[in-house]
Structure 1
Amino acid sequence: MEHRSDRSSGLPLPDVRPECRELAHAAVRLDGQAMHLLLEQVIEEYGLVAAWEEVMAPVLHAVGRRWAASDDRHVEVEHLLSWQVSTALRRAAVSAPASADVETPVVLACMPAETHTLPLEALAAGLAERALPTRMFGGAVPAEVLQWAVRRSGPGVVVLWSQARPTASYALAQHLAETTFGVRGARMTPLVVLTGPGWAGPRRGAAFTRPRSLREALDVICRMHAERLGETLH
């Protein structure tokens, strides 16, 4: 799709929802209150997935492209927009219905050298919206911390996010997939899902699931979590 500069914001945007252009305009103006109200509105009106895929992500990408092409100018726009998006996502997660199952959570974490967390925050909010219990560990989680998080949480599913190939590690993913937890005689291992463009390219480790979008990731994780929960009950 051809990207054209939106005159109201100066950002390269494709054919998008009107709210997308409104958010871009507010971001360039550094109008935090307008961003807050608009993000709240689109999540309520369209739902978390559509709000992320059709409003938040396009504007974030447009701001990122403008920053990359402007010799580090406009970084303040990206920081404020990211903060407002993160706040909206966390608010959506907190307001979602609580899960009755607290024994088999979904663990979400960025790879040890990965600091981009917003897509993973969107996934956490989407899982909360579907009433799945989560443990969100955020960005740049050290390998040993990831292993302890798995052992202590006893997750049905572990989701690892990588934004760029240098941060992706199939060796660590495999190690986590083999990490055991639970009582002796009934040890279990988690199912591992790899998310983010950092895992793109030739598949290494055919056992790993790699969803390509937020919507697909939510469907895959919900199905895997239900299957693993069923195993623990038998």
Structure 2
Amino acid sequence: EPAPVLVAGEEPSCRTSGGLPLGTVRQECRGLARAAVRLDAPAVEARLALVVERLGTAAAWEEVMAPALRAVGRKWETAGERYVEVEHLLSWHVSSALRRVPPAPATTGPPVLLACVPEEQHTLPVEALAAGLGERGVPLRMFGGAVPAGALDDAVRRTGPAAVVLWSQSRDTADRRLARAVAGRAWGVKGARGGASLLLAGPGWAGPTPGGVLRPRSLREALRLLGAGEAAERG
């Protein structure tokens, strides 16, 4: 399947790097793609660490990591079994780089809950969001891929989050019944019950969005909607 991304945009042109169709991208993305195609793990790791340090998580994901992952996914689709090893190596190192982003001291208050819908295994976009929130000191709970509906409901009830982000990569995994249940979940004593904001992230949620539910189209937009849009940005 195509590599998961949390950024919208037009298909790039046919310009390539390392055999991958990248289009018009930052030079750092081209260098990362070339290192990945060579299976040069140390170079991939070093380039990822550098772009996160220089650009911050949001720009590193949207302008370097995601375009490279998208290009590998397209190449994989058109080349059969070829480039699977490139996609696996790049994905593993992107995940590792995101988890190494140093978090800022967390602020007080209810956390943001991040989860993939029950049938969704693509986790890199929510890992990027988790890194961006942590970089900005936003308290969070990350539950990763394929979270069962009952477990998600229990987590919402137990944590009383400020917001819940549900990721779906494809329409086959988007569970709108679950989204409605999360949006309707409330807690607290009678007369002072509260609930969480719901963000439906990922291309699987394409189509009409229920009233009151937020639909971020990019990592930066998700951070802004969660009140973490400006801090920790690099030049």
What is the TM-score when the length of structure 1 is the normalising length? 0.89
| Matches of 2:90 and 2:154, distance apart in 1 | 33
Which residue of 2 is the match for residue 213 of structure 1? 218
Alignment correspondent of 1:97: 104
CA–CA separation in structure 2 for the residues paired with 1:47 and 1:14 = 22
Higher relative contact order (CA 8 A, sep 6+): 2
What does residue 3 of structure 1 align with? 14
1:146 equivalent in structure 2: 152
Partner of 1:28: 37
Which stretches of structure 1, 4 residues or longer, exceed 4 Å deviation after superposition?
none
* 1:162-181 pair list within 5 angstroms: 162-181=168-187
Q: Distance in 1 between matches of 2:212 and 2:123?
A: 25
Deviation of 1:185 (Å):
5.2
Partner Cα distance (1:191, 1:161) in 2: 14
Shift in Å at residue 194 of structure 1? 0.6
Percent of pairs with identical residues: 57
* TM-score, length basis structure 2: 0.88
Q: How does 1:86-165 map to 2 (within 5 A)?
A: 86-92=95-101, 95-101=102-108, 103-165=109-171
Partner of 2:55: 46
How far the C-alpha of 1:61 sits from its partner, in A, is: 0.3
* Residues in 1 aligned to 2:68 and 2:219: alpha-carbon distance in whole angstroms: 16
RMSD: 1.4
Matched residue type, 1:173? A
Gaps of 5+ in 2: 1-11, 229-235
Relative to total residues, which structure has the larger helix share, 1 or 2?
1
Aligned length: 217
Task: Provide Cα deviations, 1:66-97, integer angstroms capped at 9, x if missing partner.
Answer: 111111221111111001000111111xx121
